Chains A and B, each alone.
Chain A
Amino acid sequence: MKAVFQDLYKKYHQDLYQFLIYMTKDKEQAEDLVQEVYIKVLKSYHTFKGESSEKTWLFSIARHVAIDYFRKQSNKRKRILDFFDWGERGEQLEDQSILPEEIAEQNEEVRQIYHCLDKCSLDQKSVIILRYIQSFSLKETAETLGWSISKVKTTQHRAIKALRQLLQQEYGEEGNIQ
């Protein structure tokens, strides 16, 4: 088991962690989730048939782990809102995470993008991370998400448009960059 773990770690660990930290924007959560991914992978490694690549198989597990996390968060948040009847103020519960130092060091425009990424839908966020941050090909992205290539293209296009609109809304037409 250790040899399998070491092999996967060497090939994919930092990319997996990166995917999960951009999905969750929370260092501790990403650490817990990446651990959960390995547990699931090691438990089912013998069932991997090689129909897709090892890489896309691993990332599709990571994505499902992230979706489960969001689902639990969403239920928890709903319970809190229902309990306190906070209504609109509940929106303030979002994005309380600390900015990772790697992002804090970037220019303002990159920081704005990082901030708005959280407001995209889960599908859009997944496509953006895989395509622009992880540099996955269209085929790899489609395999990971279990979609057709045309759906990846469509979602990617919508995601960029949604991000642009969010940036315009949040920071104005010009952005804040000189």
Chain B
Amino acid sequence: MKRGWNNQRVEENLRKLPAINDKRPEDQLYQKVVEGLQEETDRKNKRSWKSWLIPSLATLAVLVLIAVISQSALRMDHFSSQEDSADTYSDESSVNNDQSKVMEEKSQSGSSLPADQSESADEEAKLTIAEEPVSKAVYTGNEKSTVLDVSVPIEGTGYLVPLAYQTENTSESIESTLNRLDDLLDSEVAGLPANLLQGVTFEVDKSNGTAIVHFPAEYAFEDKAFTGNVGTVLSRLFLPLNINHVKLQANGKQGIPVATKGEVIESVPLKEPGNYVYKVYQQQEDTPAFLAAVPVAIDHDIEAAFYEMRKEEPDYDLKASIPADVAFRVQKYDKHVSVDLSGPVANDQKTLDMLEAMMMTAKSFGYTKIEFNMAENRIGPYDNLEEPIEVPDGINGQ
């Protein structure tokens, strides 16, 4: 007899899943574990050996460099004094000139050593920055596409990691992308906090600017991550799509229970989110980095916002996006901001993250273009930094 899948049948079959045993002998496994531990210890020792070797070699190189430069400087002094004496004592001029030629040659050959060293240092620098930085910005590039901002809250702080999903700008396509979010985003694997919209499904109708958000029956509505962020997350998602009315449903019924208010609410009022600055979010050294949006109580002063971006917040795994040793000067125009940057900038991930964090912050403050004046003319995909750049349509492209 056939019967449909229901929860009970699923649970019964889950309990029937068999035990799968490891058939390797215990001693064999222990041997492998011991070898693994030994390898780790060796790797650690090798690392610690490297950790003192590289600074030692660098110190040695500097000492050699100083010795060579000071030696050649001494010889240069000696050479000029020889020339002086040649002028004074003409009888000895030919001998002294010969000597001075030798000195000159020596001095030239002496000066060639630092040049070689600086070349090899350049080579090393090229090797270390050879990896091209990866942009986190998303530009749709055409009218038919749009970017969905699915923001993942960082605990109950109001801080968010926005994720950008590009899709066609139609109700069907937006709805389809949103309803595939559970498949597209495994926040734990991605190195992100839990996704507020996990298990949630959507109905989108752009023609009348409405959306229906269905929450599953067991959704934790009392959770602080939900109560503190749901309005902002839905506003950031829907307002840019010109959807202004969002109805809420739980378990197929109108409205969701809000324990803190002791009532059922049927729709969530959307409002323009305030201003944000962007910092670098990274849970661990080996997990991917994202640009996170941090709300700030700053209204128009984008320079003050950029200063905020220098602050680290380790409690929330947030790193400064503008390094302390990079100085900036800001000039504001109507919808355009110009930033002079000085300090250690290069075509690397750190600088690219800084520029894109500044672009997103500028966007949050209402600017549409940003111009960077700095020593480098190309950082990542931005190959003409002399020209103003349009702010991105989204950040942390997925």
Contacts and interface: CB of A to CB of B under 8 A. Distances in A.
Contacts of B37: 39, 42-43
B7 A102 contact: no
A39 B36 CA distance: 7
A162 B6 CA distance: 11
A122 interface: yes
Contacts of A167: 5, 10
A102 B18 contact: yes
Given A67-B188, A154-B218, A178-B2, A18 B21 contact: yes
A122 B14 contact: no
B121 to A, nearest CB: 31
Interface string B1-17: 11111110111011111
Contact of B18 (A106, A123, A164): A106
A21 B20 contact: yes
A11 interface: no
A136 interface: no
Contacts of A80: none
A74 B192 CA distance: 14
Contacts of B390: none
B117 to A, nearest CB: 37
Interface of A is mostly: helix
A67 B190 CA distance: 10
Nearest to B33: A38
A147 to B, nearest CB: 10
Contacts of A43: 37, 40
A90 interface: no
Contacts of B1: 178
A70 B287 CA distance: 12
Nearest to A100: B20
B69 to A, nearest CB: 46
B186 interface: yes
Contacts of B19: 14, 18, 102
Interface of A: 1-2, 5-6, 9, 13-14, 17-18, 21-22, 30-31, 34-36, 38-39, 42-43, 67-68, 70-71, 74, 100, 102-103, 105-106, 109-110, 112-114, 121-123, 128, 132-133, 150-151, 153-154, 157-158, 160-164, 167-168, 171, 173-175, 177-178
23 contacts: A5-B33, A6-B26, A9-B26, A13-B29, A17-B21, A22-B17, A38-B29, A39-B33, A42-B37, A71-B287, A74-B189, A110-B17, A110-B18, A121-B182, A121-B198, A122-B186, A128-B14, A132-B17, A133-B17, A154-B219, A174-B4, A175-B2, A175-B3
Interface of B: 1-7, 9-11, 13-22, 24, 26, 29-30, 32-34, 36-37, 40, 182, 186, 188-191, 198-199, 216-220, 286-287
